[in-house]
Structure formats: C-alpha cells, structure tokens
Structure 1
Amino acid sequence: MNYNIHRHKNILICLCLAALVSLVYWNVQNHDFIYFDDISYVVKNDHVQKGFSYKGFLWAFTTYHASNWHPLTWLSLMFDYELFRLNPAGYHWTNVLFHIANTLLLFLVLNRMTGAIWRSGFVAALFALHPLHVESVAWVAERKDVLSALFWMLSMYAYIFYVERPGVKRYLPVLVCFSLGLMAKPMLVTLPFVLLLLDYWPLGRTPLSVVSRQSSVEGEACHYRVSLEKSAAGRLVVEKIPLIVLSIFSSIMTFFAQQSGEAIAPLRHLSVMERIANAFVSYSGYILKTFWPTDLTVFYPHPGTWPVWQVSGSVLLFVGITVFVLWRVRSYSYLGVGWLWYSGTLIPVIGLVQVGSQAMADRYTYVPLIGLFIMISWGFSDLIKKWRHRKAFGGLLSGAVLTILMILAWFQAQHWKNSITLFEHALRVTEGNYLAHNNLGMALKEQDKLDEAMAHFHSAIQIKPNYEPAYNNLGFVLTLQGKTEEGILFYLKALEIKPGNADVRFNLGEALVRMGRVEEAIVEYREALKLKPESPVIHNNLAVALTRAGNYYDAVKEYREALRLQPDHAGAHNNLAMVLAHQGYLEEAIGHFREAVKLQPPYANAHYNLGVALEGIGLTDEALVHYQKAARINPAYGDTDHNLLKGSR
C-alpha cells in the first residue's frame, strides 16, 4: 500500500514538473534564432544543414568548429535539421523537452538515493524554474547544456544501480552515459568528483559518512533508500579511475579546440591575480543571482580588473560559507556535498582558464546550482522540522518561492524572442556591453536598418577599440551603402587586429571586386581559403574573380572544388557552365546549366544562359522555353538580345 502511494506521488510530481516547465517555456515556439552562436551552429552551418550523412558524422567527430569538441551536439542539431529544416520552433522545443527530461531525472535520482520525495521534488522544481537556467533552454546553441545534462543525470541514475550491486555489467552503463555526456559538452569532466561526493552523502559509502535511515522530516520515510555497505576511500577513488581518464581525454580535446579558435585568453591579457579575483566574484555573483535573479543577460562583459571592495566582499562570502559548512558538515552532510558540488563543478568555467570575453554566464550554472538547491531544500526542512505547523508553513513558502521563480523565468524567456529583444535587454541591464551593441547592430542590419546598425557598431568600438567584429560589420554595411572605399578601410583595420579572420578576408575580397581591383581580391580570397579551405562560397567567388581576370583554367578548378564541397550549389553550376561555354565546351556547359535550374527553378540568370547555350547548338525551341522562363521570373530578361552570358554570385 505504502509503495503504491509513493509511486502515485512520484507520478504526480513528475506530471506537475513537466507541466510547469512547459508553461514557462511555451512561447519559445515563436522565438527566432539568435545572432550569437545560433548562426554558426545552425543557420549558416553547411555541415549541419546536410543532415545525417557519413561525411557529416566524420565532421562532427573531427571538427573544432566554434572552438569546441562536442560531436554529439552536432549530431543532435543535424537530426533537428532533418526534422525541422530552418524552422527555429522545432529546435527550441527540443531544448525544452531535454530540460523536462533533466528535471524529471533529477527528481527521480535524488528520490531514489534519499527517499525524501518532497525535498527531492523541491530541488527538481528549483532546477526546472530558476531564471538562471533560461539561457540554457531558450538558446538553440546551448543544446550542449541540456543534452550533456541529460547524460549527467543518466550517469547518476546508472551509478545508483552500480553501487547497489557493484560489477562490470552495472559499471558499463555509467561509463557509456558519461562518455556520451562528454561528447555533448566537456563541462561534465567534474562528474567523477560529484560521484565521490554522493558516496559520502546520501549513499553513505565512505567510513566518514553519517546517513540517517529515516528522513529528518516526520512521516517522510525512505521507501527506496539505497542500502549499501561502506567501502574504503581508496576503493571508491579507484573505481572512478576510468571516468577520470575520460575526463582527462575530454579536457585535452577541449584545450586543443579552444586553442584552435583562439578562445583562451593569454596571461598577457589577464594576469593570474585578475583571474583569481574574477573566480571569487563569479562564485559570489552566481550565489546572489540564485537568491535575487534579476538583471540576467546573455553577456556580462569582463571588466579586466574588479574593484577591490567587490573582490574582498566575494572572498569573505566564499570563505564564510566554507567555514560554516565545515563547522556543520558532521551533523548535516548535505551541506558539504551541496557546497562542494556547486564550487567544484564551476571550476572548469570559473575563469581561472579564461575562455571567451565574458566575466560569467548564466549557462554555466545549469548543473552547478543543483548543489545550492540541495543545501536550500534539505537545510530548510531541518530548519523547520521542530515547528508546530511546519507542513503548512513549508508548503506555503515553497509554493510562493516557486511561483515567483516561475514568473521571473517566464519574463526572462521572453527576452530571448529574437536578437533585438535580447540585446536591447542586455544593454538595459549592463554597462559597457560592446558585444550586445555589435550583435544588436547585426540584427538591425538584417532588417535593412543600416544607419541604426552602424550607430551600434560605432558604440561597440568606442567601448572596446580593438573589437575586430565591429570593424568587420562596419565595413560590410558601408559596402552595402555604396561607400566601398570607406568600407575597405574598416576591413583593413579588422585585419590589423586579427589577421587570421577568414570572414574579413572574404569580405575584403568582395569589396575589392566591387572596386574593380580584381587581382587584389584574388589575393584576399586565397588568404581566406588558407583559413577555410572547405568553404564552397569562397572557392566559388575566387573562381568568379579569376574569370574576370581571364584566368579560366584556375577558375574552372575552383568551381569544380566548390561543387565537390557543395554539389547543390546552383550558382557554382551556373558560373562553371559559363566558363565552359566560353571555352567551347557547350555540351558540358548545358549539363551544368540544367543542374542549376533543377536545383533552383526560379533562377532567371541560369535559365537565360541555358537558353543561349541551347540556341548555340541549334535547339531553338527548347532555348525559347528557357528564355520565356527567365523573362517570367525577371522581366529584365524579356528583351533577349543574346549578347552576353551573365554571371551570378
């Protein structure tokens, strides 16, 4: 009877948790992709947009794209593309479903380990609804957070079954789940450390463990409490060695990935003392935002040097909590586990090894906050356990807290509707946010609000004069406005700051072509290809420039390479066909023209050129059909004088 009641409570709590998460994130189905990683992860990622394939699988496991090695994340996004193409609603709902799964698994894992159903449920509810977690759920590019956390939870669940009856067969699922998690996001490297904490509490496997067989709240018996024998500390460490080896391997791969993308800040930019100061400020900042989750944003600029008072206060807070935990840990084991969970799992992203230019990030708290939530839930229960009306008071206060968090999370999720709402909010709640200015400018540029975009790019440069992306974007907008010479100056400034930027090299090449400086453009395209040798767009545009320079032999080679990399590139088929036709290879040219209009039926230029080629071999009737199609698509082709084969880009 008790078992059935407990099972029904589990089901009810799971249903409530799933419903609450769905309610908070319901509107994400109407959200767009964001001009911050979503572009490189999905919108302009040719590999992801090819869906599942053998080449895509190899790319996922061998690439350091976006300065990360997370093949499972890439495969997940490829799967989404197969289902939803470029409809962002599907990607967003996938993230939400992963978040729901993580929430339910967290509840089930804690409940199975402790038998404390309501406290486990409260931890899961805090995890589900806290506004700090909105970034991980509402941002498509943070698929790696929710996906890796899924395997973190599954690893813990598998670990419970292993410790009940240790053996190779039961250890293997832990190893597999952990491996998959590392391939989704390397932040899981701290899981072996957390499993050692769980050995201490609540599993009670260490000689130092003090674990009650009964919940500290009357009437909340440990129906599923795992029954274990204590083990020597050395044995507990030894059984984690395979997991530690995997963590080391993942850390090495991540280091090379971030080095390749120049994501790691060198010591000359941030000294050791500045990194330590930022670590303490981040630790305290996350704690404060846990209890007062306001002014949350996508990017917190790193100030370089923090004020002394802020560093001192952060150190005092961190040391004070640590001393308190050490003082009470023998009586309240969960305090030590929760605090070490929080502080330990943050180490890879706390800023000692500075990756990126942010001081801190909401997404980094996705798993670490579970430690604080355990301290809060179990600590609150112990605090009121002798109160006369503890159940009513505890229920009312918990409900009020969750309601407030739910409302705050809902509003926070609305900021993620699109790039403009997101970065306008970032500018409201932070100061000196050069990245928000730049990315807001990019979003405005897409809406053809070029003057507003330029104002934000200039603001970014005023805040951070060596911020290369803003110079690149200014060059691009000026070129769009016809101020190509001025745009070139900004491209050159961007290259002065970061010579190894393929996108800037490419944009500069485009601007030089516009100015008729084709030979200079060819040089820039070739430099861009050294940095991005597998870009079909760069190969195609280099070939166009070579064609204009009269170098047809090299142009054909570049077009063929572009088509090898992207066989469905209609523009490259059309352009290659034009060169082949010019060289007299009409049959082969016609084949490429046909492929171009097959891939892109409303391609007026290709229809017209196909008509010219067909007329050249005497197929005038078919030629007329394509002339007419070209004219219907673009009336400018109505007067077909048959003079020139027109290029397309």
Structure 2
Amino acid sequence: MPQSRQPDESACDAAPRWVWVAAGLIAVATLAAYLPAMQGGFIWDDDAHVTAPELRSTGGLLRIWFDIGATQQYYPLLHSAFWIQHKLWGDWPVGYHIVNALLHALSAVLVLFIVRRLLHTAQTPWANPTAALAAAVFALHPVHVESVAWITELKNTLSGVFYLSAMALYLRFDESRRAKWHAFALMLFVCGLLTKTVTATLPAALLVILWWLRGRLTLRRDVAPLLIWFALGAAAGLFTAWVEHDLIGAKGEEFELSAMQRGLLAGRVVWFYLGKLFWPANLVFIYPRWDVNPSAPSQWLFSVALIVLVAALFLLRRRSRAPLAALLFFIGTLFPVLGFFNVYPFLFSFVADHFQYLASLGIIVFICAAIMRSVPARASRFAFALPFVIPLALAMLTFRQCGLYADGQTLYRTTIDRNPACWMAHNNLGVEYKNAGRIDDALACYRRALALRPNYPEAWNNIGLALTELGDPRGAADAYQQALKLRPANPGVLSNLGTLLTRVGRHADAIARHEAALRLDPNDPQLHGNLGVSLQAAGRYADAVSHYHRSLESNPDQPGVRLQISLCEAAMKPPPQAIAAYAEIIRANPDNSQAYFARAVLLAQTGRRDDAISDYRRALEINPDHFEAHNNLATLLALAGRHTEAIPHFEQAVRLRPDFVEIRMNLAVAYAAVRQADRAREAAQIALDQARANGRIELVKKIEDWIRANSAAPKP
C-alpha cells in the first residue's frame, strides 16, 4: 500500500455534492429498511431501560448519574437519553424505534465520510464508491437489526455515533495536530464510555488505523496522545466488569470458565461473527449456548485456525497491511465480549448479533475495498452500480429480519423455532401468553423452561403468578417456595408470596414476607406499596399509609396509591365520619369497588342492612370477582332470610376461593336452609376434609358437630 502524504486539511474537508447525495440516499434507505421495526412494541428488557416511574423527575435524573444501581447498568448518558425520550413521547414505542433508526443512519453517514477521508489520504483507487458501499453495507446489513430494532440497544446506536464522531475528529487532529480537535474527540470518547463501555476499544482501533496508513507507529506522535484515552477506557471497562459481576449477576456456575476454556471460546466467537457477516442466515435473538470442552479436539480448530490466519496476514503485511489491520480492528473491538470477561448475556449464549455492531466495520470496509479494487478499470459503470446492488440485497434481508421484532410473541416463537433449547425464550413466551390472558399456554411454556433448566427461579415465580390467577393458591405458594429455595434472597418472589398470603387471609405471614423483601431492597417503591396493601388488609391502616408514602417518595406518579391512602384514612375514622369520607371518595372515583365494599361493611355494622346490600351489589358490578363482597352480600341476604338469593353469591365465592373453608360452610348452611340436604352434606364434607388437611382442629370439631346435628334432623 502506498505511503500516505500529509494532505491539506481544507482539501480533506471539502466534500463534493455526490457525497451529500449518497449520505441522503443511505439515510433514506436505512429508514425504509427498518420500517417494520418502527411498528414494533417493547420486548424483553426494554422496560428496564425505558425510564422507570421513580426516575422520571428531575431528582430521578440526578439519581441516574449519582446513584449506582438506580438503573440496570451504570450508563448515565444512555439513561439520560431515555429520560429525555420519555419526556417527549412517554411509553410510545414508535418514538424510541425512530430514534434508534435515525442514530443508525447517522452512524452510516459518518462511516461514509470517515472511510472516504481515509482512502483519499491513503491515495486508494476507487475511494469514493468504496466509501459509499461500505457505509451502505453497514447501514443495511441484517446482522445489525438486533441493535436497531431492539429499543434497549440504544446503547449501541447512540454509543456508535459518539464512537465514530470521536474517530472522525481524532483523525482530523492527527492530520492537523491542532489541540482543539483532540479535546473535542476526547469529549466525544468520554460520552461514548458513559453510553456503553465497548467504546473503550476506540484508542486501540485508532492505532490500528494509523499503522495501516503509515506502516509504523511512533510513541510521541501516535501513542502519547492516546494514553489518556487508554486510561479512561481501562477504568471504565474495569468498572463495568464490577457492575456486571456484583450488581447485574454475571457470576455463578455458568460463568466459571478456565483460562483454557476462555481461550477456546475466543477463537470460536471470532469465527462465528465472521461467518454471520459473510452469510447472514438464520440470525436469531438468542443463539445456542456452546459447551466449551477442551478435551474435544475439534474445539481447538477455531483457535488454531485464527492464530494461523493472524500469522499469515502478519507475514503478508509488506504486500498489504489492510487485511491484518481489518482483522485486528475486528478482534480488538470484539475483545470485551470474546469470553475473557464475564458479561451477563453469557448466561444465555456466548454470542449475540449486537455484540459485533462496531467490530463489523473492520471487515465491512476491507471487503468493500477489496470488491471495488477487483473491478476491472474498463468496468467503471459496473463499479458505480455495486454500491446500489449489494445494499439492495442486504436491505431486503434486513426488512424481513425486522419482522421478528414486531412483538414479544413473534420474537420468542422464532427464537424457539431456531433454538428449541432456549429456556429463556420459553419462559418469556410464557410471560407474553400470560399478559394476553392465555394462562394455560403460559404454564406450558414455564414448565418447558423448567424441563430445560430445573434451577430456574424466574420460571417458578411465573408459575406462582399464573396459578394465582387460576385460583390455585396452594399450588402458587408451592411454586414460590421452589423459587425461594433456588434463590432465597429474592425480593420480588418474597413480595409475590406475601401478596398471595394476603389473598388467603394470612395477614401476619404476608406482612413478614413483605418486610423480608424490603430488607433486601429497601428503596423499591413497588415493595413498599405491596406491604401497604397487606397492612391495609390486616386493618393496620396507619402503618399502611406510612409505606404508601414511602412508595410515593420514590415514584410520585401513582394515583392508585394515593387512593389507597384516602381509603385508609377513611377507615381510621369513627363509622359516621368514615361513611361520609367513603361517599366523598365514591363521588371522586365512582368506579372504585373498594370504597363501595368498605362503606358496605360499615353500613352493615351500623344496622343499615339494605344500604349495605346495595353497596355490595354495586361493588360486584364493578368487580365481579370480589369474593369477599360475594360472601358478605350472601351473608346479609341469608340473615334477612333471603337464602335463595344468597346461594348464588356463596357459590360464586366458593368458585373464586375453593380453599376458603368458612365460605364453603356458609354455603352448606344456606343449602340446608332451603332444604337441599344432599348438597348441604356434600359442601360440609368438602369443608371438613379441607379443615382436616389444614390441621384446623377447632374448625374440624365445629363442622363435625354441624354435620351430626343436620344428619339427625328429621326429613320433611
């Protein structure tokens, strides 16, 4: 490759009109190719990145910067960008998708200008069409769909803009040696680190580019200006490694790899990503997780072949430095995810398409240059057609690949089709089914996930949630206990178990579980709110209000919590004032069943039975599955001698809570009152069996006495 010359800076900056036209065409083509993605919704961990309610205030923005652990990863500039977007379009996914696509298009335009500048500096033939082709391939290659269509990967698209902008300005500094360009480039590099620390590889990538340009590196000219970059990058990388290990959870048996295993893994990872660049078929959200086995001779082939390739390119460097530079750029940019450091996604797979977003540039630019260089001089028209033909084919693949990200169900079904052993996809598909009301399908997915990975607490927790909705509290409790056996310090599961125990009336046990959850995560507003609900159900209204206020401190935007505070404050008043307070709440919230229910209880206590019956009926119109309202209404009707009207409500209460012994006995008494002796005995016998199974000795004796008394009663 010819030696570079020192160009005039203004000559390098002057871009002909065709460059701006090409930039516009690339941007438009990018947005067109990603149109299906822009119509998609939120998937997987997008909810952990779109700004959480407790962080949406100005104080929340400060927490993003100064409270490590406030966000899933400490990338404060990234989460500030999410914070701004939430101010603009809230939870509207289209806005986030458009931003990702625009940032990706901007990165492609930066590639166009950077590659054109470098190739002109190196006096490379076909510099202009090569730059256009490389930018278009980067913009439209389907391996980048995961980075653009997945809202979470704003990490990639935003950090990519900072990375490439810093590169462009540093190359300008290298030509002019003006300090201002170094300062601007360094500032953008820091912005990249605060967005995603994979940008820490930029100074090494710059040295590779400078070596390709000049054939040698000098300490003073080339290395010294980047020393602070290397220091900042190393510090950011080590900090991110600590966050991944201690806060996110990249530790445990799945991450315990020997040095030999990590070396074998690195070789295989490089070849995998090269393969996907050259043949982007069967791209999948979660790839199969490899078994890295040093005793298998075939697994050494990847690393050995890579070493041979690097050695061969090193020996050929005098003929052309470009192949070695491209490979070094590729491997160096991939270095953080080659397996030498633990990152949380390794739990699912050692590879992911979004890991090679920036690394792919080394190979893309080299291959595009090689293609253009191989075109005969007489075929100039063909050469200028290539920047259109190749990207068009890639754009069609990208357009189709975007369809996988339309929604969670589509994404996970496709993942399972291509990777049937992906236990995470089975579990997440179950969550999608549950959210769609397909509880039985959700349970089947959770159980399949457990068959693939028995020590999977998240699947057990999800089974608990599903069984709760199906009205099987005993099965749900067993599932939560299984989850806690696998991971005892799990605040979410503890809180879910507490909520379940509240539903079955075990208020003391429920409160204990919620308090245990808060000891593990004392600042979680949801946990404080859940404890408030259990305290409210137990009649501890003042304590409930205290925890509701703690929840509001972290997340003020909770009108439902404010309503619960009003209900608790009303409940603490004497009955006449409380009834009046509930009336005010009902006027402000006419569809709140809790207020009608609570007022009905007080009306019944003060002897206003007909008014109480009316309020219970209104509560059930709003919430037909309120089993306590069914039971209390049925009890009032039975006390009024209206047993025929009471029985359907007792029956519905039993359907909603088949494990509630007392309600089933109320139903037995109602059957007996209307002389349905067989049905009365059947209900009483079931209640007796349940009481015995639960070890409720006193209740067993009462039911046995009732059965004997009613068996001895003369038949009509």
Scaled by the length of structure 1, the TM-score of the pair is: 0.84
Corresponding residue for residue 479 of structure 1:
468
How far apart are residue 270 of structure 1 and its match? 2.9
Q: Where does 1:35-434 land on structure 2 (aligned, <5 Å)?
A: 36-42=44-50, 45-47=52-54, 50=56, 53-64=58-69, 67-115=72-120, 116-202=127-213, 204=214, 208-209=215-216, 232-266=218-252, 269-305=256-292, 308=296, 310-356=298-344, 357=347, 358-384=349-375, 387-395=376-384, 399-434=388-423
Corresponding residue for residue 446 of structure 2:
457
Q: SS in structure 1 opposite 2:16? A: helix
1:611–1:287 distance in 2 versus 1, CA, 3 Å: same
What is the alpha-carbon distance in structure 2 between the residues aligned to residue 235 and residue 587 of structure 1? 85
Deviation string 1:174-200 (CA, Å, 9 cap, x unpaired) is 111011111111111111111212222
User: Which consecutive residues of structure 2, in runs of 5 or more, have no partner in the other structure?
Assistant: 1-10, 121-126, 604-614, 637-716
2:333 is matched by which residue type in structure 1?
T
How far apart are residue 328 of structure 1 and its match? 2.3
What is the alpha-carbon distance in structure 1 between the residues aligned to residue 231 and residue 289 of structure 2? 33
Structure label with greater radius of gyration = 2
Corresponding residue for residue 223 of structure 1:
none
| 8 A Cα contact 1:339 1:375, kept in partner | no
Corresponding residue for residue 30 of structure 1:
39
Q: SS in structure 2 opposite 1:402? A: helix
Corresponding residue for residue 23 of structure 2:
14
What is the alpha-carbon distance in structure 1 between the residues aligned to residue 620 and residue 497 of structure 2? 35
1:301–1:31 distance in 2 versus 1, CA, 3 Å: same
Corresponding residue for residue 528 of structure 1:
517
Does residue 584 of the first structure (1) align with residue 573 of the second (2)? Answer: yes
What is the alpha-carbon distance in structure 1 between the residues aligned to residue 128 and residue 165 of structure 2? 19
| 8 A Cα contact 1:596 1:606, kept in partner | no
Q: Which moved more, 1:327-336 or 1:10-19?
A: 327-336
Q: Which moved more, 1:392-401 or 1:164-173?
A: 392-401
What is the alpha-carbon distance in structure 1 between the residues aligned to residue 457 and residue 284 of structure 2? 22
| 8 A Cα contact 1:70 1:185, kept in partner | yes
1:235–1:579 distance in 2 versus 1, CA, 3 Å: same
| 8 A Cα contact 1:189 1:251, kept in partner | yes
What is the alpha-carbon distance in structure 2 between the residues aligned to residue 56 and residue 602 of structure 1? 36
What is the alpha-carbon distance in structure 1 between the residues aligned to residue 359 and residue 144 of structure 2? 11
**How many percent identity over aligned positions?**
27
1:345–1:393 distance in 2 versus 1, CA, 3 Å: same
What is the alpha-carbon distance in structure 2 between the residues aligned to residue 25 and residue 139 of structure 1? 11
What is the alpha-carbon distance in structure 2 between the residues aligned to residue 553 and residue 402 of structure 1? 65
What is the alpha-carbon distance in structure 2 between the residues aligned to residue 324 and residue 512 of structure 1? 67
Q: Which moved more, 1:126-135 or 1:237-246?
A: 237-246
What is the alpha-carbon distance in structure 2 between the residues aligned to residue 167 and residue 591 of structure 1? 76
1:349 is matched by which residue type in structure 2?
V
How many positions carry a matched residue from both structures? Answer: 603
How far apart are residue 314 of structure 1 and its match? 1.7
What is the alpha-carbon distance in structure 1 between the residues aligned to residue 197 and residue 307 of structure 2? 28
Corresponding residue for residue 694 of structure 2:
none
| 8 A Cα contact 2:201 2:333, kept in partner | yes
1:595–1:163 distance in 2 versus 1, CA, 3 Å: farther
What is the alpha-carbon distance in structure 1 between the residues aligned to residue 398 and residue 511 of structure 2? 51
What is the alpha-carbon distance in structure 2 between the residues aligned to residue 314 and residue 6 of structure 1? 43
Scaled by the length of structure 2, the TM-score of the pair is: 0.77
How far apart are residue 495 of structure 1 and its match? 1.6
Deviation string 1:316-349 (CA, Å, 9 cap, x unpaired) is 4322331232122223222222111100011111
| 8 A Cα contact 1:295 1:429, kept in partner | yes
Does residue 488 of the first structure (1) align with residue 495 of the second (2)? Answer: no
1:610–1:466 distance in 2 versus 1, CA, 3 Å: closer
What is the alpha-carbon distance in structure 1 between the residues aligned to residue 621 and residue 128 of structure 2? 65
| 8 A Cα contact 2:313 2:323, kept in partner | yes
1:330 is matched by which residue type in structure 2?
R
1:58 is matched by which residue type in structure 2?
R
| 8 A Cα contact 1:133 1:363, kept in partner | yes
| 8 A Cα contact 2:75 2:194, kept in partner | yes
1:362 is matched by which residue type in structure 2?
D
1:611–1:265 distance in 2 versus 1, CA, 3 Å: closer
Deviation string 1:523-548 (CA, Å, 9 cap, x unpaired) is 22112212332222221221222233
| 8 A Cα contact 1:546 1:552, kept in partner | yes
1:67–1:90 distance in 2 versus 1, CA, 3 Å: closer
Q: Where does 1:508-519 land on structure 2 (aligned, <5 Å)?
A: 508-519=497-508
Deviation string 1:218-273 (CA, Å, 9 cap, x unpaired) is xxxxxxxxxxxxx7334422211221222123123312321233432347733333
Q: Which moved more, 1:58-67 or 1:292-301?
A: 58-67
1:634–1:461 distance in 2 versus 1, CA, 3 Å: closer
How far apart are residue 371 of structure 1 and its match? 0.6
How far apart are residue 294 of structure 1 and its match? 0.9
RMSD of aligned alpha carbons: 3.6
How far apart are residue 427 of structure 1 and its match? 1.1
Q: Which moved more, 1:53-62 or 1:534-543?
A: 53-62
| 8 A Cα contact 2:409 2:429, kept in partner | yes
| 8 A Cα contact 1:69 1:253, kept in partner | no
What is the alpha-carbon distance in structure 2 between the residues aligned to residue 591 and residue 330 of structure 1? 91
